[in-house]
């Protein structure tokens, strides 16, 4: 029997596992666009095949892949296809899957330029492209992180550093215990990851100054308290339920003049700013100081991929700063100065491939098409007796309600059971709602029709239950 190293060298040489993985991947793609969106009961049941104790002995690589293919693939949620409308979950553009597949074997870690010249180069290139796409200042810095949870954290960390520095306090050196007090101001519809970031940064969420929002979930500008150098104001591009945008034109410029740091959580909505017909939604956002946005949502790159953008590179780099005697500084860009982590995967490769493939025009087209599909869904479902749409469909989100909360919940349960599409629930104005989030390049008009038919049938069934 070969020793471990000999065995692995042999596997590498034959490449049979890579070939098998590739073939399995191809057949997955052949079926995933048409199959049940949520795993069948049988597929869920078969997950028991993974329940075992820690293996004592070495396994067989082809059997491992076969197990994954046979019982793993069917238990995936088909978020890649066109009828997954849960949460705000992007699909993946075909080019990004291919680029990810190639770069998987590169296994790059773009912490420093010297560690991955290609990773570092693509981060520098994409940073520049993002400034252009979102019309941001030339020195805007970008950090490439796992998602908007972390991007919110980074933007707010930069704001914390910058505001305290203005007040004569270095938070890196002195911490928060006896620092000047910062005020955190946000809308009562802020995303839960914003609240988490506020807690992680030591502000304490009980200290948040909450601002009232209107019927669409937008901050009411006149309700924002008096602002000054001690303030961090957090706004939103894309409410996770209604998809609405805070009025940046009315808020950002004057808040900035008063000395507040403005952070925008634009997880899926910031991309409106990169379109031809929807960019009015983000007008004024350029007056903010930091922005968080996902690539794995609206832009449809594979998981995980988020971006923090910051108008003050020094504040971002200072907040996320690190030193070490073995660090080698590059000439162009060392990614770790813009992120909390030192080691990260080179997710920039898929992001670069997406933007290179789409171009400015393609990004606009992709996002506008999602909006059109959401509008179509709104129009079609409004014609079905028993459903009502509650929000203005300004972007990709549709909130649907039945006559009673009970009917809404039963209808949603039936839709999920039918598996033609998948939608989740939420709470809106103290009522239960079904959230429909159109976030896939692959959603066709036919997908919308199929989903509406499933809604109709599921409500009819709920009325009989
Ligand atoms: C999804 C979302 C987040 C969190 O982003 P992750 O990529 O899941 O970490 C934050 N804010 C809003 C508005 C979101 O939709």
Q: Where are the domains of the chain?
A: 4-78, 100-355
pLDDT in tens, 86-108: 999 999 999 999 999 999 999 99
Average pLDDT over residues 306-332: 93
Ligand 1 within 6 A of CB of 337: no
Q: What is the pTM of this model?
A: 0.98
Percentage of residues of the chain with pLDDT beyond 90: 98
Residue 362 has what pLDDT?
Answer: 98
Q: What is the 3 state secondary structure string of the chain?
A: CCCHHHHHHHHHHHCHHHHHHHHHHHHHHHHHCCCCCCCCHHHHHHHHHHCCCCCCCCCCHHHHHHHHHHHHHHHCCCCCCCCECCCCCCCCCHHHHHHHHHHHHHCCCCCCCCCCHHHHHHHHHHHHHHHHHCCCCCCCEEEEECCHHHHHHHHHHHHHHHHHHHCCCCHHHHCCCCCCCCEEEEECCCCHHHHHHHHHCCCCHHHCEEECECCCCCECHHHCCCCCCCEEEEEEECCCCCCCECCHHHHHHHHHHCCCEEEEECCCHHHHHHCCCCHHHHCCHHHCCEEEEECCCCCCCCCCCEEEEECCHHHHHHHCCCCCCCCCCCCCCCHHHHCCCCCCCCCHHHHHHHHHHHHHHHHHHHHHHHHHHHHHHHHHHHCCCCCEECCCCCCCEEEEECCCHHHHHHHHHHHHHHCCCECEEEEECCEEEEEEECCCCCCCHHHHHHHHHHHHHHHHHHHHC
Q: Ligand 1 center to residue 66 CA distance, Å?
A: 34
Mean pLDDT computed over 22-48: 97
pLDDT in tens, 132-177: 999 999 999 999 999 999 999 999 999 999 999 999 999 999 999 9
Label residue 321 by pLDDT band (50, 70, 90).
confident
72 lines ligand 1 (CB under 6 A): no
For residue range 234-273, list pLDDT tens digits in order. 999 999 999 999 999 999 999 999 999 999 999 999 999 9
Q: Which atom of ligand 1 is nearest to the CA of 147?
A: 7
pLDDT score recorded for residue 324:
82
Give percent of the chain above pLDDT 70.
Answer: 100
Is 149's C-beta closer than 6 angstroms to any atom of ligand 1?
yes
Query: Cα(21) to centroid of ligand 1, in Å?
Result: 31
Instruction: Name the band, by pLDDT with cuts 50, 70 and 90, for residue 299.
Output: very high
CA 148 to centroid of ligand 1, rounded, Å: 5
Ligand 1: residue whose CA is nearest its atom 2: 267
In this predicted structure, what is the pLDDT of residue 209? 98
Q: What is the pLDDT of residues 396-410, one digit of tens each?
A: 999 999 999 999 999
Q: For ligand 1, is residue 242 a contact (CB within 6 Å)?
A: no
User: In the predicted model, what is the mean pLDDT of residues 356-370?
Assistant: 98
Given the candidates 3.40.640.10, 1.20.1090.10, 3.40.630.30, 3.30.70.890, the CATH classification of the domain at 100-355 is: 3.40.640.10
Q: Is 136 exposed, middle or buried (0-12, 13-18, 19+ CB in 10 A)?
A: buried
Q: Is 90 exceeded by the pLDDT of residue 322?
A: no
Distance, CA of 284 to CA of 260 (rounded, Å): 15
Q: Whose CA is nearest to atom 1 of ligand 1?
A: 267
Which mutation among 146, 147, 217, 295 tests ligand 1's pocket best, with the greatest number of atoms within 8 A of CB?
A: 147
Q: For residue 156, how far is its CA from the centre of ligand 1 (angstroms)?
A: 15
C-alpha distance across the termini of the chain, in Å: 62
Mean residue pLDDT across the chain: 97
Q: Is 244 in the pocket of ligand 1 (CB under 6 A)?
A: no
């Amino acid at each position: 029997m070969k020793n471990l190293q000999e065995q692995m060298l042999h596997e590498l040489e034959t490449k049979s596992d890579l070939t098998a993985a590739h073939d399995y991947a191809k057949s997955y793609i052949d079926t995933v666009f048409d199959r049940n969106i949520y795993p069948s009961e049988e597929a869920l049941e078969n997950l028991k095949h993974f329940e075992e104790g820690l293996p004592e002995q070495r396994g067989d690589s082809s059997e491992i892949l076969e197990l994954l293919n046979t019982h793993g693939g069917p238990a995936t949620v088909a978020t890649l296809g066109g009828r997954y409308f849960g949460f705000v979950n992007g699909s993946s553009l075909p080019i990004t899957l291919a680029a990810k597949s190639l770069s998987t074997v590169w296994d790059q870690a773009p912490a420093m330029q010297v560690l991955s010249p290609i990773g570092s180069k693509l981060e520098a290139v994409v940073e520049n492209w993002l400034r252009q796409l979102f019309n941001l200042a030339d020195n805007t810095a970008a950090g490439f992180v796992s998602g908007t949870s972390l991007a919110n954290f980074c933007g707010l960390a930069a704001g914390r550093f910058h505001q305290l520095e203005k007040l004569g306090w270095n938070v890196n050196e002195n911490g928060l215990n006896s620092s000047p007090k910062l005020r955190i101001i946000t809308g009562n519809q802020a995303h839960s990851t914003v609240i988490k970031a506020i807690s992680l940064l030591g502000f304490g969420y009980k200290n948040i100054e909450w601002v009232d929002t209107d019927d669409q979930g937008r901050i009411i500008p006149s309700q924002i308290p008096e602002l000054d150098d001690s303030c961090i104001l957090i706004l939103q591009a894309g409410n996770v339920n209604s998809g609405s945008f805070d009025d940046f034109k009315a808020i950002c410029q004057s808040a900035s003049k008063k000395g507040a740091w403005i952070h925008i959580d634009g997880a899926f909505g910031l991309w409106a700013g990169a379109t031809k017909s929807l960019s009015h939604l983000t007008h004024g956002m350029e007056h903010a100081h930091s922005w968080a946005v996902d690539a794995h949502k609206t832009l449809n790159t594979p998981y995980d991929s988020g971006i923090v953008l910051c108008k003050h590179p020094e504040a971002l780099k200072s907040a996320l700063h690190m030193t070490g005697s073995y660090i080698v500084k590059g000439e162009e860009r060392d990614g770790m100065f813009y992120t909390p982590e030192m080691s990260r995967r080179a997710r920039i490769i898929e992001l670069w491939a997406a933007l290179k493939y789409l171009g400015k025009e393609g990004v606009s087209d992709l996002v506008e098409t999602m909006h059109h599909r959401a509008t179509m869904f709104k129009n079609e479902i409004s014609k079905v007796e028993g459903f009502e749409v509650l929000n203005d469909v300004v972007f990709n989100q549709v909130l649907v309600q039945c006559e009673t909360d009970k009917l809404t919940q039963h209808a949603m349960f039936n839709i999920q059971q039918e598996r033609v599409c998948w939608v989740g629930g939420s709470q809106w104005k103290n009522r239960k709602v079904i959230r429909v989030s159109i976030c896939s390049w692959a959603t066709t008009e036919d997908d919308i029709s199929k989903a509406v038919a499933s809604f109709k049938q599921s409500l009819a069934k709920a009325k009989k239950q």
